[in-house]
Amino acid sequence: MLKRVLIANRGEIAMRIIRAARQLGIETVLVYSRADSDTKPVRFATKAICVGSAAASGSYLNQESIIQTALSMGCDAIHPGYGFLSENVEFAEKCISHGIRFIGPTPEVIRQMGDKQSARMLMRTSGVPTVPGSDGIVADAAEARNLAEQVGYPVLLKATAGGGGRGMRIARDGSEIGSAFSVAAAEASAAFGDGRLYLEKLIRDPRHIEVQILGDLNGNIIHLGERDCSLQRRNQKMIEESPAYCLDEETRQRIREAALKAAKAVNYSSAGTVEFVLGEDGFYFIEMNTRIQVEHPVTEMVTGVDLVREQLMIAGGDPLSVRQEDVKLSGAAIECRINAEDISRNFAPSPGTITKLHFPCGTGIRVESALVSGSTVSPWYDSMIAKVIVQAANRQESIRKMKTALDETIIGGVPTNIDFLKAVMDDSEYKDGKVDTGYISRMLEASPGLREGVPCKQSHS
């Protein structure tokens, strides 16, 4: 068992790791930036050490400072959370070379899955369905045009090192290939230092389905059901659910089996997620996230499995505490991400000081946040204030419970997206499960009042 873990992250995920570690009797060392000195993780970690400036490059991305802190504090392992260094191969290798356990899969797996095209090809050879497209890197716009004519428009040009929707452009016909290729390549190069692209057929009106996986160091790998993460804006998730409401039982079993096949192909260990797009003609692998996900609480709510606790135990050499046959999903869970953003300014991030803060509570309601009244939502990081998660006997009851929980959430001092989230909970198409990755864009187009922060209770159909 681990004795002391350094947390190389911030916000609610840092608080989440602290809580799981304390329940296991593990001490925590938190590294933080000067901008985060007033947050809850700094108060609740066993030891908190400021490692640099507000800019992530001087603190949360400062690999040498983080590793030297871990060494000086006698830490057994480093938990990277998500974002920042969580999928950084170089950092994982440095941890291991210094005798520190990296809480996540091996560097080889991170490297293999971090290159989206290589991951895609491995999945194809492993029998996991992949989106029709190129067999490798697309050299230039001319090659992209030839491939697009073979697989059929529209197509998606994607950065092989991509993530978060960056380095990704759609071409609806041959006239758009040239500009889509050049823009995607330039964006990928700027964001990831790697401008290489591959091409996929664009699945129209897809749903985004992801399967939670867990693996230990003894080769045991299980899934914990799937999540529907289709409600996105600019490729960023806003609302997630488990289980996926849209799946018939045959498809549900097939997609879970495909996720297990993907995880076993790389001998996965720790917590991870296999992501798929679901279209009219089936589902296809798109990527594997080699870390804990923001939306992991909905899986925890329906399975009763503490994923962060499992990560810590796996890193300490323990086997999985649950077998596949023990995994049972109970009811339905929904997560809403509450962000400090101004809907009337196209959801622009709106940092500031929180003057009032009250979160809901009650049976089947959970809130993840690192802020308290008087805390500052910093302009240096993402604008998420909290995650509100609910669980009930079925999806419709969960929707009603979420609406009540959002009604009880009070945040003063900064504009938030709460009214927008409540409008979604009231929308008839959402209630009927008629959503895909374009749902939010269509809702905003059909309900102009939402852009001004005015809740709208009518369907956008």
Q: Which residues are known to be catalytic? A: 291
Residues 6+ apart with CB under 8 A from 114: 87, 89, 161, 290
Count of C-beta atoms within a 10 Å radius of residue 413: 18
Residue 350 three-state SS = coil
* DSSP reduced 3-state for 311: helix
Report the alpha-carbon distance of residue 179 to residue 125 in Å, rounded: 32
Angle of helix 89-97 versus helix 63-72 axis, rounded to 10: 30
In the block, residue with structure tokens 């606790």: 309
Of 248, 256, 169, 172, the residue nearest 221 (C-alpha) = 256
Distance CA 388, CA 406 (A): 8
Q: Beta strands 27-33 and 47-52: pairing type?
A: parallel
Q: In sequence order, which residues have a C-beta less than 8 Å from that of residue 110 and are 6 or more positions away?
A: 87, 88, 89, 92, 104, 290
Whether the CB-CB separation of 171 and 154 falls below 8 Å is answered with: yes
Is the peptide bond prior to 455 cis by the omega test (within 30 degrees of 0)?
no
Structure tokens that stand for 93 in this block? 């290798």
Give the residue from 308, 300, 174 showing the smallest Cα distance to 242. Answer: 300
Helix (H, G, I), strand (E, B) or coil at 439: helix
The HSE-up count of residue 426 (CA atoms within 13 Å, CB side) is 16
Distance CA 373, CA 352 (A): 12
